[in-house]
A and B are shown apart, each in its own frame.
Chain A
Amino acid sequence: MRQALQAGLAPSRTRLDNGVVVLAKETNTTPAVTINLAMRAGSICDPADAPGAVHLLSRVIDRGTATRSAEQVAEEFDNRAVALAITVTRHVFSVVCTCLAEDFEALLALLGDILMSPSVPDAELVTRKGEVITAIRQDEDNPAVRAVEALMARLYPDGHPYGRRAKGTIEAVEALTRERLIALHAQRFAPSELSAVVVGDVAAARAGAAAAGVFGAWRTPPPVPVVPARVAPAAGRQRVVIPMMNKAQADIAYGFIAIARADPAFHACSLMNNALGQYAIGGRLGDSIRERQGMAYYVFSSLDANVIEGPLVIRAGVGPANVDRAIASIDEEIGRLTREGLTEKELTESRQYLIGSMPRMLETNAGIAHFLQTAEFFGLGLDYDVRLPGLLRAVTLDEVHAAARRVLDPARATVVVAGPYQHS
């Protein structure tokens, strides 16, 4: 591994005849393998009249295939101590698991069967719908979820796929049928949309051969791409309050539409975000709101640069009496950052952190697999881990300041408060 880090990860990358991309990286830390399959079929692929369809598919896709019953699938996973993590983001339907190296081929074959040939049994669909509806009901009682969902709906209005709840609505979930999900799968799941990453105690050639064996014969035409419309940043300040008087603490979600991942200012924006709301427990925001004012256990910012301009979101959990003061403090820090930019010391520290944290980020199989999958999705190149330190070192103070001025402006902030708080 040490040699690998000095020379870069240098994964092997092959594209099968049908378009499936296979990335493999051998490591020998533990006798285990992480398999990370990314299908470009995220929640943006929800039909307009069926929000939550992709998410519901993610809950039922591994409950039976053309050749395996739900019980057989479950037995195969349980016997190998494998718990599948299936998640849906805006753009990606992701299937991830870690298994013992000795189980790798069998597991990959099972995952391939699940991805290519789900049977979506009616009985399973009924049960999984019940779980999803319960999860939606739990979210309704969660101030953090409510605040972030309301923020996204305001930033990306009018049913934009970035503004919709991935789980959909109870009504939409209840109305979904097996036929609808099978059709959605047939329409959006195709070899051209799949990248398979294998990291762990298997040789790259072995991983590649296994992937070719599982996915090589898959023939489905490429789907029509779904391209979300770009959205203009808010023209003015918006404020939304969601009273939840049964709660002890309020959650604040404060955000802007920021930048796309392919934007040349991405690394400047990333450094700005680190200094603003991440470095050393919450950056400047943490220093003000948690350290100096003692108002919050958590306050941080996160940047989700995506295919189109994604959001920069600031989050804080505070007592109801401190909501207004916390928002004023966020305004103050945002205003100061846009006026003055960062100091040389702050930029250096954030840069050193982001560069220096790479060996930790790439220590585990799961960490490497996630990194490679992200690099593949955004087309960053097989040597992105080698180039990234240089890209961060090249960012100047002026570029960070420009990124702050471009993205942040208290007068254009969208602010949501959910919790035991009402309009003051």
Chain B
Amino acid sequence: MATVRAATLDNGLKVLVQEEHTAPLASVWCWYKVGSKDERPGLTGVSHWVEHMNFKGTTNIPRDQIKGIIEQVGGGWNGYTWIDQTTYVETATRDALDRMLFIESERMANCLYHPDDCESERTVIISELQGGENDPDQFLDQEVTATAFKAHPYGHPTIGWLADLQTMTRDDLYGYYRRHYVPNNATLVIIGDVETDEALRRADRHFGGIPAGTSPSRLRTAEPEQTGERRVTIRKEGTAAYLKAGYHAPAIGDPQFFPLLVLDGVLTGAKGLNLWSSFKMPPAQRRARLYRALVERGLASSVSGALLPTEDPFLYTISVTATDGTPLAAVEAALLEDIDRARREGITDAELIKAKRQLKARLVFDNDSITNIAHQLGYFETIAGVDTFLTLQQRIAAVTIEDVAAAAAATLLDANRTIGWFDPLKS
């Protein structure tokens, strides 16, 4: 992979630049270390709502132009918020680099937050929440996560609780924006058909004049150790039954993260580690243990595992859709039988080799565009430091069968899990 150059501007903004001359394009991502874990009760969803407000015009980009300013040149743009981060992206022709940097500098310093726009966006976000609730699998995921955490703010959904979305004020939003959108809380990533020194000069020209802010205060808490299995059962009208098992799992900085990633490959097939793109390509999983135990036996129509890199310990979640007519109890019994076997016995040498091979290939597939590479640099820099991303292959290669056994023994405990059922009431 090409070299990444890192620099820090005088105001604290971290800048990562990587030249990729495979297409006449450039991708700019601006990352903020603020996500739903920074939200207090009563303000859940504020990070995500702020992200929406930051597409509503700035001092120097009129509201009606901000959404078209990149599409005018054929570019793509977007943004997302999750538990550790909020990020914004533009990918367009390399000639639009200045335009992309200008947009992101404006977003950092000069968003407007007109009261009418705040009100209009309130209903848009509530519509987004309700659209998500239409999906029973997503609804169950929210409930399992909320049940698994009783202290750490990873427990509430990034979109927020409805009551908070109904009552939050414009001042709540704007105050949150001003506290967190400061250069010393951000990372700017520039990748593509650019020249590194020139890209750094341009970054300084656009962002150098933005004053540093007070470092945002962080909510500091650790989820206490779970001491017994928790369960949540949703009984709502529906046509299919879903089950989830969420285990408290190591953070990206924990030595057990990568062994658990290998274990997930053995259980449900290896995925990529790119939150932005990996989901577009399903895992190779037909010989994975849980696929064979559940799907091949006709108990489930799908099974998937999710272990995502996070700053604090989050969840390793296994999700199952029961086949029509199969009781969730039968699905759960089969699932837990295999989970328990992995906890007791670990994995085999052949499984270790296959999972590593799959992960190695997925890292190649993850990096097929400048947008995806730029995402990975910014994502990992925000939660763990860019070096973690640059050494993923080595970290995976270093995992031993004993490491996997230890991670399985530590994670896949009955007392460490939350089981969720969506058991449909037939209409």
Measuring CB to CB, which residues of chain A are less than 8 angstroms from any residue of chain B?
1-2, 5, 27-32, 71, 73-75, 77-83, 85, 98-100, 126-127, 130-131, 133-135, 137-138, 140-144, 245-249, 279-281, 290-298, 317-319, 349, 352-360, 362-366, 419
Contacts and interface: CB of A to CB of B under 8 A. Distances in A.
Interface string B179-203: 0000000000000010000000000
Contact of B364 (A32, A295, A360): A32
B22 to A, nearest CB: 5
Considering residues A133, A318, A355, A364, which has the most beta carbons from chain B within 10 angstroms of its beta carbon? A364
Given A135-B301, A246-B427, 17 more contacts: A28-B22, A29-B368, A32-B365, A78-B358, A81-B361, A83-B269, A126-B298, A134-B323, A137-B240, A141-B239, A280-B71, A294-B121, A319-B130, A352-B73, A352-B74, A359-B93, A365-B368
Nearest to A138: B240
B131 A360 contact: no
15 contacts: A28-B22, A29-B369, A77-B284, A78-B284, A79-B357, A83-B284, A100-B361, A144-B134, A281-B67, A294-B120, A349-B72, A356-B72, A356-B93, A357-B75, A357-B76
B124 A294 contact: yes
A45 B76 CA distance: 37
Contacts of A137: 239-240, 324
A133 B128 contact: no
Nearest to B281: A83
B166 interface: no
Contact of B122 (A71, A294, A365): A294
A98 B281 contact: yes
B8 interface: no
B23 interface: yes
A362 B236 CA distance: 44
B89 to A, nearest CB: 12
A364 B74 contact: no
Given A248-B133, A279-B71, A100 B125 contact: no
Contact of A5 (B23, B73, B74, B301): B23
A294 B129 CA distance: 14
Interface string B133-152: 11110000000000000000
Given A318-B127, A358-B74, A83 B285 contact: yes
A416 to B, nearest CB: 16
B239 A140 contact: yes
Contact of A78 (B67, B239, B288, B360): B288
A363 B287 contact: no
Interface residues of B, number: 73
A5 B424 CA distance: 52
A134 B25 contact: no
Interface string B102-124: 00000000000000000111111
B270 A292 contact: no
Contacts of B413: none
B120 A2 contact: no
B100 to A, nearest CB: 13
Nearest to A246: B237
B296 interface: yes
Contact of A349 (B68, B131, B283, B286): B68
B286 A77 contact: yes
Contacts of B123: 294-295, 319
